[in-house]
Amino acid sequence: MAFLDNSGDIILDAVLTDVGRKRMAAGNFKITKFAFGDDEIDYGLYNKTHPSGSAYYDLQILQTPVLEAFTQANANINYGLLTYARTDLLYLPTIKQNITGIGVAALGTPLYLADNSAGATLGTLTSTALADDSIVATQILISGDPSTLFILFETGLDTADLSPTSENQSTYITKMGLLDSNFTISYDNRLIGTINYANSAVFRTSATGTTCAVSAWASGTGAVRSRDLAGYNTETILAHVSAVFSDVTGVTAAIANAASALAGPKGAYQMIVPKILSPIPDTLFASLGKVNQSLGGSNLYNYIDTSIYIVGQATNVTLQIPLRIIKLVSV
Amino acid sequence: MAKSYQPLNVNTDVTTTRTLLHEVIPLTGTIISGTYGVFPDEENIKNYTHGQFQSVYDYPYLSSSANHIFDLTLGIQSGSSLSASTNTQMAKKANMYNEYAQLLLGYDKAQNIEAFESDVNVADDDNQMQDCFFISLSRLLTKDQIKKGTFSIELGQGAFDNAHLSTITLTDTGSSETAGFALGRPGGDYAVLYDSTASLSTQIPTSSYGVIFYQAGVVVLSSSVFNTASGGGVITDFASGAITQTGAAPDTGPGRDASYMIATSSISGTCDALRHRIKNISFNNSTEINSTIYFCRMPVNQFNYSSNPTYTNASKIVVKNVASDLPVSYVTTIGLYNASNELLATAKLSEPLRKDPTNELTLRVRLDY
């Protein structure tokens, strides 16, 4: 009878992050929870057709070299392992920006957010000047003003395997606990003051077409410091349930999918317009961005590039939207 | 940013441990004297304009690669027979003795500074060491403390030109972690250094020539160590004539023993002479590591999915063919968070670890302080 091999005992040495050292210096270092990350893993290497059998499906994944720990915020755990109660999930929702509707912002690289912190006129002037400089109108948001353009995003299943029916929404999303009732939005708290969002809205398809309308807007309240991103604030806003279905009279799957960013059953959605923290001083434009820049025409702008992050609270899916906060300096 | 958090139960998932790490520290006499230049002006020896002590480095001290090893100085108790106002740097020598004595031994009932003794009972005022060398070892070497029972210093007792022809080794081998040392003094635990060849019955006080303070990392040597019978009696050329007081004529001959040099020579000059006679120093240091171990458990029904963007392809989980297939995930990193979900510490696995609903893992994450 041989001895048992106990060499597999796992003890890991942890290193403090920058925040950990800061908390230790301040005397409020207290660990209360843990999470797991798998940022190095490319699940695309999982080979379900390996000729040697199932024991070899993850051979390449298990050979993935793992990097040493580093210490900045969110170190190595940008994506984490998730717990879902059910083990029979075959599809997981994704989140996408919808660019198909009227009044809906395009997928901009970047998406311009005109600064109106010194008055609505400035925002309009900036928007007009950008249009003069051949920036596509659907890439120009005005800070905190949803009347011309807003960002629409959706969660759901982006697969052609499943039709976008109400039944599939119920089966694959709602009953699986994957329907978001809230989104958290994180933004640079030096630049953005709050998020304006649709407090009451409708997004549906019918025989007469697609309706994407907001009946009431609200501003986010209760912003707190982001737990994951240094210098960011996080706000929680509500989510709306999509009614873009193909199993409605006069609506086909093609029509429903044309109205949506997702190819399969839809889940939740929301519309937002970030509102700039007023006023952003020119010194901040100089230190974080660029000043007196031309975008191809004679107009000069100050601008700062930043990103906002949207996370579905039930699905844990994340959408990053690059934004260019821009202010007209001279015409 | 998406991840599932699992709370730690302080009663079942967190424990603390205390570990002592030891390193062997050998210091050879060649580093201390003669390697980086011509004695006594080696480039790894730093003297100061204040003249109160001398620093020894492991490399020329002007180099950024140099590490401080120890400081050398000496002192004379004001009540010593060697104490005389005409002595060179007498005030500084008295100050050095008093500084070490009050820091390491404290005061007696009459509020007088205690004197060093070559035993572990300073209250009885016997076996006093009134003219001493002090070796203050760098914290870089001693870490938290010198391990008891491991210290030894080998000193040359030959003539100056061939100092290491005969040697004496002083050790604290009578001391251990549980016995053989004194405690309760401001300088912490200390023990006697005695001739390693001495029989047990004569170790103290006959063959004891100093004391060592373990936490402070200070070795106190009596000048009488160079007047031993094993060394052939009193060393009459403790220093060469060339290293007595700067500008003075060579001062050699009978009576020029260590005590004489302590009294009449400068601190730096006498330290040079001591360096010349140090053949080896060896000890084990101790580092106390307090660790908190967090038991990060991955139960069968948790952490089986991932928010990694590659985990799905067109919303379909890539590790599954049908819904009834087991979900699989691979962990590479563990993050420890506070109640505000701030990442305070992170630990990495050496290779990805598979997690699925058929297995349960416990990863022990150790955080050292």
Check CB contact of A36 with chain B, cutoff 8 Å. Answer: yes
Q: Is residue B292 part of a domain?
A: no
| Pick among B343, B353, B364, B365 to test the A interface (most A CBs inside 10 A) | B343
Residue recorded with tokens 């250094």: B193
Residues B112 and B207 in one domain: yes
Residues B250 and B337 in one domain: no
Residues B323 and B192 in one domain: no
Residue B318 has pLDDT above 50, yes or no: yes
- Which residues on neighbouring strands pair with residue B346, listed in sequence order? A15, B335
Q: Measured between alpha carbons, how far is residue B241 from residues A117, A162, B236, B265 in Å?
A: 84, 99, 11, 11
Q: Rounded CA gap, A329 and A100, in Å?
A: 32
Q: Are B318 and B345 in contact (CB under 8 A)?
A: no
Q: Which residue of A has its CA nearest to B291?
A: A13
Residue B25 has pLDDT above 90, yes or no: yes
Residues B221 and B180 in one domain: yes
Residue span of the structural domain in which B321 resides = 299-368
- Which residues on neighbouring strands pair with residue B7, listed in sequence order? A33
Domain boundary among B287, B314, B332: B287
Residues B276 and B323 in one domain: no
Residue among A11, A75, A316 minimizing CB distance to B307:
A316
Residue B143 has pLDDT above 80, yes or no: yes
Q: Rounded CA gap, B76 and A324, in Å?
A: 75
Tell if the CB–CB gap between B338 and A161 is shorter than 8 Å: no
* B265 class by beta-carbon count within 10 Å (0-12 exposed, 13-18 middle, 19+ buried): buried
Q: Rounded CA gap, B263 and B252, in Å?
A: 14
Enumerate the residues of chain A whose CB falls inside 8 A of the CB of residue B352.
38, 40-41, 61-62, 64, 66
pTM comes to: 0.73
Closest CA to A277 of A181, A176, A187: A187
How many Å lie between the alpha carbon of B22 and the closest alpha carbon of chain A? 19
Q: Is residue B5 part of a domain?
A: no
Residue type, B137: L
Residue among B293, B340, B343 minimizing CB distance to A77:
B343
Residues B350 and B250 in one domain: no
Enumerate the residues of chain B whose CB falls inside 8 A of the CB of residue A63.
351
Q: Is residue B230 part of a domain?
A: yes
Q: Rounded CA gap, A105 and A97, in Å?
A: 9
Residue recorded with tokens 């989980």: B317
Q: Which residue of A has its CA nearest to B350?
A: A66
Tell if the CB–CB gap between B341 and A41 is shorter than 8 Å: no
Q: How many CB pairs under 8 A join A and B?
A: 299
Q: How confident is the model at residue B310 (pLDDT cuts 50, 70, 90)?
A: very high
What is the per-residue burial (b if ≥16 Cβ within 10 Å, else e) of B284-307?
Answer: bbbeeeebbbbebbbeeebbbbbb
Most confident of A227-231, B207-211, B224-228: B207-211
Q: What are the tokens at B76?
A: 């004379």
Domain boundary among B237, B252, B287: B287
Q: Which residue of A has its CA nearest to B357?
A: A87
Q: Measured between alpha carbons, how far is residue B307 from residues A77, B143, B196 in Å?
A: 10, 45, 66
Residue among A14, A29, A30 minimizing CB distance to B346:
A14
Q: Is residue B3 part of a domain?
A: no
Q: Are B283 and B347 in contact (CB under 8 A)?
A: no
Residues B170 and B43 in one domain: yes
Q: Rounded CA gap, A279 and A36, in Å?
A: 40
Q: Which residue of B has its CA nearest to A88?
A: B323
Residues B279 and B338 in one domain: no
Q: Which pLDDT belongs to residue B248?
A: 46
Residue among B309, B329, B342 minimizing CB distance to A81:
B329
Closest CA to B156 of B87, B102, B216, B225: B225
Q: Which pLDDT belongs to residue B245?
A: 42
Q: Which residue of A has its CA nearest to B327?
A: A87
Residue A8 has pLDDT above 60, yes or no: no
How many Å lie between the alpha carbon of B289 and the closest alpha carbon of chain A? 13
- Considering all CA atoms of chain A, what is the largest pairwise distance in Å, rounded to the nearest integer? 88
Digit-coded pLDDT (tens) for A256-272: 888 899 999 999 999 99
Digit-coded pLDDT (tens) for A270-282: 999 999 987 888 8
| Pick among B307, B321, B322, B349 to test the A interface (most A CBs inside 10 A) | B307
Residues B228 and B89 in one domain: yes
Q: Which pLDDT belongs to residue A220?
A: 82
Q: How far is CA A9 from the centre of its chain?
A: 39
Tell if the CB–CB gap between A80 and B307 is shorter than 8 Å: yes
Digit-coded pLDDT (tens) for B244-272: 444 444 455 545 788 888 888 899 999 99
Tell if the CB–CB gap between A58 and B340 is shorter than 8 Å: no
Q: Is residue B343 part of a domain?
A: yes
Closest CA to A156 of A251, A17, A257: A257
The residue ranges of DSSP E strands in B223-342, in sequence order, are 278-298, 305-306, 312-313, 316-317, 329-337
Check CB contact of A31 with chain B, cutoff 8 Å. Answer: yes
Q: Which residue of B has its CA nearest to A86?
A: B301
Check CB contact of A50 with chain B, cutoff 8 Å. Answer: no
More confident residue, A264 or A318: A264
Residues B109 and B249 in one domain: yes
Backbone torsions φ then ψ of A252, nearest 5 degrees: -105, 170
| Pick among B292, B295, B332 to test the A interface (most A CBs inside 10 A) | B332
Q: Are B233 and B207 in contact (CB under 8 A)?
A: no
Q: Which residue of A has its CA nearest to B3?
A: A80
Q: Which pLDDT belongs to residue B209?
A: 93
CA atoms B12, B13, B16, B22: torsion sign: positive
> Which 8-state DSSP code applies to residue A163?
-
- Judged by DSSP in three states, A171 sits in helix
Residues B317 and B281 in one domain: no
Digit-coded pLDDT (tens) for A15-64: 999 889 999 999 999 999 999 999 999 999 999 999 999 889 999 999 99
- Judged by DSSP in three states, A304 sits in strand
- Please state the rounded mean pLDDT for residues B337-351: 89
Residues B307 and B275 in one domain: no
Enumerate the residues of chain B whose CB falls inside 8 A of the CB of residue A20.
343-345
Q: Is residue B4 part of a domain?
A: no
Residue among A30, A46, A77 minimizing CB distance to B335:
A77
Q: Which residue of B has its CA nearest to A28?
A: B338
Residue B170 has pLDDT above 50, yes or no: yes
Residue B299 has pLDDT above 70, yes or no: yes
Q: Is residue B303 part of a domain?
A: yes
Backbone torsions φ then ψ of B140, nearest 5 degrees: -60, -35
Q: Rounded CA gap, A325 and B10, in Å?
A: 46
Domains in chain B, number:
2
Q: How high is the ipTM of this complex?
A: 0.76
Q: Measured between alpha carbons, how far is residue A164 from residues A177, A315, B143 in Å?
A: 18, 18, 67
Tell if the CB–CB gap between B305 and A81 is shorter than 8 Å: yes
Domain boundary among B267, B287, B307: B287
Q: Is residue B188 part of a domain?
A: yes
Q: Which pLDDT belongs to residue A99?
A: 84
Residue recorded with tokens 């005409």: B86
